[in-house]
């Protein structure tokens, strides 16, 4: 068995800071002691600033919490007491005490900071992403002294992989065929090559890139605009992700149907350049930048107000073209200033989080008055949608998709979250210094491998789905407080699209029916919600909606009639469980369901309909296995 080095005090301090202490201080202290305000000259948002102290000196004495004002001021009888008019829980105070306790004089200014700030070095080589995932997660389990969950059986794993890669549960015939010859890698490759895979990825990334629309027609104009075609073809062909992102940022006129739809990313936001900037940032940087609109980010120091307004400036020469889905771009104008909290005005220059700034000569004195829009500034002055010879939008797209390691990291982390229930950095769209990766070497290895293989999206999905963690059952109860260790598959609610198809397959109906899908989308969960809480609207939809009633009515001549025709209650229950869950019932389930069916003697078809309804709306069906 491989041996692992003992963790140093600095590493322990870094882990405690990232896992517990930072969040406690962010919630309770940073408003008055952070980037925006520094009462008493004290900042508490980074280990460096905590250890630096304030106007009254040090607030932490390494290894001695009882002599550290950061800890003693938290006690209920302390004078002064912090935070004012609020008391931290015993667990929160204990976490601060523990962090100070493991600091040593040698590490307090070095290790505790280095554990969070040191760049990740990927020195090890792995033959595949699967090997990297398996090795690095196993090392994490060993260090933490935990054991992973037991692996799923073939039937449950088959159901999981169909839901993730095909967007639905397997049919009875598909499940039976797999169980007869359970070759997992062969099934993964088969599903990745099927048309349903591209549709499933489009459903995910349509929501990640555009957000969910639920009012009226939830598809809006996305389908008719060619946006869906653009995304589906990109995933079907595994087009390099950096090229896909380049297309949606440039939004260039293109007569090719599968490329024309790329402009919808900008077009749907209706010339609202701030909305565009806020949508672009998670895609190219992996993090939201909304908090930097009025000031530098109050928690993530690397995100500046200049990044927010520079991203706005990258797109503010654009304008939707009436009567089409094209987004034109002017060759001039779009120069603007932004004002910080100190009322200081600064030019909005296109600056990326990578540190790169796009050079551009401003007209004398600033503003647009000194510029004149002329035909010679465009590639084809007579084109219906003119493209400027120097396109600020295109220059940003090139910078964001070439030599930008954040792009690969953002995609890998989001796909990891979609397939496991949690990002390596969590939340998955906030990869910044406030959210430390649970497995930094793994994230960096996967990102570098993704970029090295020409941003092959299918490769990323394949390696995650083939990995050991993907095949695990639910985490053990002892790991409930450490989901970042990935000791098992975290709970994931099915998306509306997965539910719509799977309900129909369970009832032996064709999986795709547009109107039913739209009705389910209006009621059921968001894709990859940060926290899933069932709503009253969802409960109503599941328990008595006309939509669900009509679905079961459609199954009346088929599955329901077949179940009702079986000679005994036991066989009816067994077949109902097999149709809905792909498994036989347990002893307790059989007893309860059989009693229910027998109580409905004389109205067998209606009883079987109600049993199917109950099974299909249960917690087991609504979540990933």
User: Are the CB atoms for 292 and 304 separated by under 8 Å?
Assistant: yes
- The per-residue pLDDT for 218 is 62
Which token pair is 147?
């054991």
- The per-residue pLDDT for 65 is 86
Q: Name the residue ranges covered by the structural domains of the chain.
A: 9-117, 130-197+404-485, 241-401, 496-622
Which token pair is 437?
């990766």
Spatial distance between the Cα atoms of 552 and 615, rounded to a whole number of angstroms? 12
H/E segment holding residue 307: helix 305-315
- The per-residue pLDDT for 366 is 53
Spatial distance between the Cα atoms of 29 and 18, rounded to a whole number of angstroms? 16
User: Are the CB atoms for 438 and 403 separated by under 8 Å?
Assistant: no
- The per-residue pLDDT for 480 is 79
Which token pair is 88?
């931290």
User: Are the CB atoms for 410 and 244 separated by under 8 Å?
Assistant: no
Q: Which CATH number fits domain 130-197+404-485: 1.20.120, 3.40.50, 1.10.3130, 1.10.10?
A: 1.10.3130
Spatial distance between the Cα atoms of 422 and 140, rounded to a whole number of angstroms? 16
Give the total residue count for the chain. Answer: 625
- Give the pTM: 0.88
Percent helix, strand, coil in the chain, to 5, is 55, 5, 45
Q: Where are the alpha helices (DSSP H) in 421-523?
A: 440-452, 457-466, 496-506, 514-523
Q: Count of alpha carbons within 13 Å of 619, Cβ hemisphere only?
A: 4
Spatial distance between the Cα atoms of 564 and 478, rounded to a whole number of angstroms? 44
- pLDDT, averaged per 10 consecutive residues of the chain (625 residues), comes to 37 72 82 80 83 86 87 83 84 86 64 49 86 97 94 97 98 98 98 98 96 73 92 97 97 81 96 97 96 87 93 96 94 92 89 92 64 93 93 97 96 97 94 90 97 98 98 89 92 94 98 92 79 80 92 96 96 97 97 95 94 96 95
- The per-residue pLDDT for 121 is 64
Spatial distance between the Cα atoms of 336 and 172, rounded to a whole number of angstroms? 61
- The per-residue pLDDT for 10 is 46
């Amino acid at each position: 068995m491989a041996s692992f080095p003992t963790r140093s005090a600095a590493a322990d301090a870094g882990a405690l800071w990232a896992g517990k202490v930072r969040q406690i201080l962010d919630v309770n202290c940073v408003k008055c002691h952070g980037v925006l305000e520094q009462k008493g000259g004290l900042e508490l948002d980074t280990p460096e600033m905590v250890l630096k102290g304030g106007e009254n000196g040090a607030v932490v004495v390494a290894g001695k919490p009882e002599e550290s004002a950061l800890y003693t001021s938290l006690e209920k009888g302390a004078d002064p007491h912090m935070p004012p008019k609020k008391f931290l829980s015993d667990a929160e105070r204990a976490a601060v005490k523990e962090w100070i306790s493991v600091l040593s004089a040698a590490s307090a200014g070095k290790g505790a900071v280095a554990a969070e700030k040191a760049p990740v070095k990927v020195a090890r080589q792995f033959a595949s992403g699967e090997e990297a995932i398996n090795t690095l997660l196993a090392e994490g389990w060993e260090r933490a002294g935990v054991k992973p969950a037991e692996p799923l059986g073939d039937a449950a794993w088959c159901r999981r992989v169909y839901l993730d890669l095909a967007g639905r549960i397997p049919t009875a015939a598909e499940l039976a065929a797999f169980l007869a010859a359970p070759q997992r890698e062969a099934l993964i490759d088969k599903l990745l090559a099927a048309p349903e895979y591209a549709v499933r990825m489009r459903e995910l990334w349509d929501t990640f890139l555009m957000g969910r629309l639920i009012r009226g027609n939830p598809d809006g104009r996305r389908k008719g605009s060619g946006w869906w075609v653009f995304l589906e073809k990109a995933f079907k062909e595994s087009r390099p992700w950096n090229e896909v992102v380049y297309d949606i940022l440039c939004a260039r006129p293109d007569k090719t149907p599968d490329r024309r739809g790329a402009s919808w990313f900008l077009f749907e936001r209706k010339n609202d350049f701030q909305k565009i900037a806020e949508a672009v940032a998670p895609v190219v940087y992996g993090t939201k930048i909304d908090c930097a609109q009025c000031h530098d980010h109050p928690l993530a120091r690397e995100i500046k107000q200049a990044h927010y307004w520079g991203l706005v400036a990258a797109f503010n020469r654009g304008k939707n073209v009436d009567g089409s889905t094209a987004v034109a771009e002017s060759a001039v104008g779009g120069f603007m200033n932004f004002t910080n909290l100190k009322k200081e005005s600064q030019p909005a220059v296109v600056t990326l989080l990578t540190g790169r700034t796009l050079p551009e000569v401003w007209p004398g004195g600033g503003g647009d008055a000194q510029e004149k829009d002329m035909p010679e500034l465009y590639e084809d002055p007579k084109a219906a949608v003119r493209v400027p010879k120097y396109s600020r939008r295109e220059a940003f797209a090139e910078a964001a998709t070439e030599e930008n390691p954040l792009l690969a990291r953002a995609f890998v982390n989001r796909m990891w979250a979609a397939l496991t229930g949690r990002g390596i950095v969590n939340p998955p769209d906030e990869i910044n210094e406030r959210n430390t990766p649970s497995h930094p070497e793994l994230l960096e290895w996967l990102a570098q491998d993704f970029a090295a293989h020409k941003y092959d999206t299918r490769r990323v999905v394949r390696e995650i789905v083939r990995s050991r963690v993907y095949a695990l059952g639910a985490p053990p109860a002892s790991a409930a407080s450490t989901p970042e260790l990935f000791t098992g598959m975290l709970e994931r609610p099915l998306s509306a699209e997965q539910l719509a198809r799977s309900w129909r397959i369970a009832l032996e109906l064709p999986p795709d029916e547009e109107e039913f899908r739209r009705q389910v989308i209006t009621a059921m969960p968001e894709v990859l919600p940060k926290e899933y809480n069932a709503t009253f609207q969802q409960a109503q939809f599941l328990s008595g909606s006309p939509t669900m009633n009509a679905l079961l009515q459609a199954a009346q001549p088929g599955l329901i009639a077949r179940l009702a025709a079986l000679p005994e209650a036991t066989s009816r229950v067994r077949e109902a469980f097999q149709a809905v869950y792909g498994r036989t019932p347990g002893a307790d389930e059989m007893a309860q369901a059989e009693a229910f069916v027998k109580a409905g003697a004389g109205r067998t078809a209606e009883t079987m309909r109600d049993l199917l309804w109950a099974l299909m709306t249960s917690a087991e069906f609504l979540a990933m296995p």
